[in-house]
Amino acid sequence: SKDILGAGTAVLAGFALDAEEELLASLKDVVERSPFRNMVTPGGFRMSVAMSNCGPLGWVTDRTGYRYDQIDPEVNRPWPAMPRAFRELATAAAEEAGFPNFVPDACLINRYEPGARLSLHQDKNERDFTQPIVSVSLGLPATFLFGGLERGDKTQRIQVIHGDVLVWGGSARLCYHGIAPLKEGEYPRLGRVRYNLTFRNVG
Ligand code: MD3
Ligand code: FE
């Protein structure tokens, strides 16, 4: 299952399971300081996915556009430091996928409740597209939509579950992708929620 999406991508099933306790404790610490919020897109829509960030740079959107910012605009402070357990998991996963020099400087934390979705988009706010993106799924399962370089290209559907880590590099890096509306459900200990950690080198 490691290369089904093309060179530079990897599906690392269960890769986060050994670190799950530390990851969940660290996630709680981060969102105590920079709480989840539903941001507004440049077009004026409130996102159904609630977001926070940790690390030197955080992804934000508002009526003026998308950007990476050192400051959490909700609390007017820098984003919380990236927890060691987060950083170590991301670098280990990248290395496993063939990116031994990945140094994440941004971690976007997405929270999905049933019905929340992320429509098809490309990630183009980073400087160096040769750097991979590492994604960690926790909690409820989700259907990941993975398309091509054009919005209209046909999409593959990939199921991701708690503990899965996906690495997106190489030719997949600029492909359209999204998350189908989260199905109703309950994950032991976490409840009606999916979290996704997205690690990037933004530069
Ligand atoms: C494939 N988040 O935050 S992460 C995002 O599960 C985002 O919350 C999704 O897309 C989530 O931008 C998916 C995985 C991901 C991230 C970037 C990609 C997959 C990607 C870039 C290219 C191709
Ligand atoms: Fe994305």
Is 136 contained in some domain? yes
Separation CA 78–CA 55 (nearest Å): 9
Asked whether residue 107 is domain-assigned, the answer is yes
Give mean pLDDT, residues 129-151. 95
User: Which residues lie near ion ligand 2 (Cβ < 5 Å)?
Assistant: 123
At residue 2 the predicted structure's pLDDT band, cuts being 50, 70 and 90, is low
- In the structure, what pLDDT confidence band is assigned to residue 14 with cuts at 50, 70 and 90? very high
CATH of the domain at 115: 2.60.120.590
Nearest to 58 by CA among 45, 49, 46, 67: 67
CB 177 within 8 A of CB 146: yes
Q: Which residue has the tokens 């031994």?
A: 100
Q: What is the pLDDT of residue 5?
A: 67
Domain total for the chain? 1
pLDDT score for 1: 44
For the CA of 53, the nearest ligand: 1
Q: Give nearest CA residue, ligand 1 atom 15.
A: 135
Instruction: State the amino acid at position 46 in one-letter form.
Output: R
Tell me: pLDDT of 87 over 60: yes
Which ligand gives the minimal distance to the CA of 166? 1
Q: Is the CB of 123 under 6 A from ligand 1?
A: yes
Atom 11 (ligand 1) nearest CA: 196
Tell me if 52 CB under 6 Å of ligand 1: no
Q: Residue 165: what pLDDT?
A: 98
Secondary structure class of 179 (helix, strand, coil): strand
Is 2 contained in some domain? no
Secondary structure of the chain: what % helix, strand, coil (to 5)?
Answer: 15, 35, 50
State whether the beta carbon of 177 lies less than 6 angstroms from ligand 1: yes
31-70 pLDDT, tens digit per residue, is 999 999 999 999 999 999 999 999 999 999 999 999 999 9
**Which comes out higher in pLDDT, residue 7 or 38?**
38
Give the per-residue pLDDT at 72: 98
- State the pairing for strand pair 9-12/77-78: unpaired
Residue 95's pLDDT band, with cuts at 50, 70 and 90, is very high
* Region 185-203 average pLDDT: 97
Nearest CA to ligand 1 atom 14: 135
pLDDT at 171: 85
- 98 C-alpha to center of ligand 2: Å? 21
Take residue 201 and report the two structure tokens written for it. Answer: 């080198």
Look at residue 3 and tell me if it is in a domain.
Answer: no
What's the domain range around 99?
Answer: 9-200
What's the gap in Å between 174 CA and the centre of ligand 2? Answer: 9
In this structure, is residue 99 part of a structural domain?
Answer: yes
d(CA 121, CA 146): 10
